[in-house]
Amino acid sequence: MLSKRAQKLKTSPTLFLVAKAKELQALGNDVISLTVGEPDWATYPMASEAGIEAIRTGFTKYTAAQGTLELRQAIIQRTKIDLNQEYKISEVTVTSGAKYAIFAALQVLCDPQDEVIIHSPYWVSYPAMVELADAVPRIVTCTEKDNFKITAKALEENINDKTKVFLFCSPSNPTGFVYSKEELKAIGDVLKKYPRVHVITDDMYHRLMFDGSNRAPHILDATPELRERTIIINGASKAYSMTGWRIGWAMGSEKIIKALGDYASQSTGAPCSISQAAVVPALLNAEPNIHQTSALLKERLQMALKEFKTIPEFKVFEPQGAFYLWVDVTKVIGKSYDGQKVNSSQDFGKILLEKFFVATVPGEEFGNLGYLRLSFAIQTERMVEAIGRMKSLVGQLI
């Protein structure tokens, strides 16, 4: 009965694990969830107050499908500061979440059987979104040897006459690794040779850096010549802790952005008016808050890395941005817990959740076997407790 498109659908693994964790919590278990990429701190006050004021003043009706003029102007202003790139109003569209902006961008760029180059480890939704655009995800597996990042050489080796898009995220979800300007320059030099190939750059974490910099290097820093075929995706969810407000945006050439906005207008309609009003002051006035957030995350990261040193069976990779830890657990694969064989990181994660009540996301969901992704956007005491439970499980493996 279902369409072929519907038959391709997969449940989001992170949302599935969140639901499983909540199910165990409902049964009275003390579950610590390190799954969802969601800040545990409140939305910044200036954003919350603007949202409340929007309700009070009746700003609760439909807006333009592409977003309010005020929000698009704020996005342009923020982008000028962050990337030193000038965009026109017609080159910006606001969407109901950045995830939808990526989805819509793939819908308007890809024809059936076009290929989209994605490197693993990748964000779990990328391949599914490509498939829903009737395109083909071309997965390039990246390993520790290359810091889990695609090289210019590997990118060029995978470009062919079907390639339509190169899609990537920096800082990476799930590893937290960041592409340097030199790496981006090498990638950009390859892409300049192939004018058919567009770039979708997922910038959701680019403000959350641990080296004291204001933001991550960007491909348009390195190769501004790619501007007309680069679609910048960003949103308010991570740096501004506005996940539930569901505001994202896309920026790029007028032709692509108009198509993306029209696609959204025929599917989700206009983004929430109240949320749009809340994001404007966040973009313009939350710089001190973001710096405090990055400092807090760095403190939590250093604590977590210190605690993980007590589990020699794990290899933990120190991220440069975002708020994830990418953990190599291959040394525990092949062992057993209470008669249950650990054949994969997925098996290890299942035992960890069901017996020790710590929820993580296995590397299989990101395209790389033998790893776990852990969010450290969580209170320090709970993270220490979670790591202690992991240590207890590893100590009981035989």
- CB 371, CB 328: distance < 8 Å: yes
The model carries a pTM of 0.96
Give domain 45-285's CATH number out of 1.20.910.10, 3.40.50.2000, 3.40.640.10, 3.40.50.300.
3.40.640.10
pLDDT number for residue 333 = 97
Q: How far apart (Å, rounded) are the C-alpha atoms in residues 35 and 25?
A: 14
Amino acid, res. 84: N
Q: Mean pLDDT per segment of 10 residues, for the chain of length 398 residues?
A: 83 78 90 91 98 98 97 98 96 98 98 98 96 96 97 98 98 98 98 98 97 95 97 98 98 98 96 98 97 96 97 98 98 96 95 95 95 96 97 97
Please report, to the nearest 10 degrees, the dihedral formed by the alpha carbons of residues 81, 205, 135, 186 taken in order.
Answer: 70
**What's the CATH number for 4-42+288-396?**
3.90.1150.10
What pairs with residue 249 in β-bridges?
94, 234
Report how far residue 224's alpha carbon sits from residue 51's, in angstroms, rounded to the nearest whole number: 36
The DSSP secondary structure of 355-393, one letter per residue, reads HH-EE-EEGGGGT-TTEEEEE--S-HHHHHHHHHHHHHH
Q: Rounded to whole angstroms, how far apart are CA atoms 45 and 12?
A: 31
Half-sphere exposure of 209 (CA within 13 A, CB side): 15
Give CA–CA dist 156/144, Å, rounded: 20
Check residue 9 and give its pLDDT: 81
Cβ-contact 236, 242 below 8 angstroms: yes
Burial class (CB in 10 A: 0-12, 13-18, 19+), 77: middle
From-to residues of CATH 3.90.1150.10 in the chain:
4-42+288-396
- In the chain, CATH 3.40.640.10 sits at 45-285
User: What number of other Cβ atoms are within 10 A of residue 37's Cβ?
Assistant: 20
How far is residue 217's CA from residue 201's CA, in Å, rounded to a whole number? 12
CA dist., res. 197 & res. 158, Å (int): 12
22 neighbors 359 (Cβ within 8 angstroms): no
* Block residue for tokens 């802790």: 241
Which stretches does DSSP call E strand in the chain?
A: 32-33, 92-95, 115-120, 136-141, 163-169, 198-202, 230-235, 248-251, 315-317, 324-328, 336-337, 340-341, 358-359, 361-362, 371-375
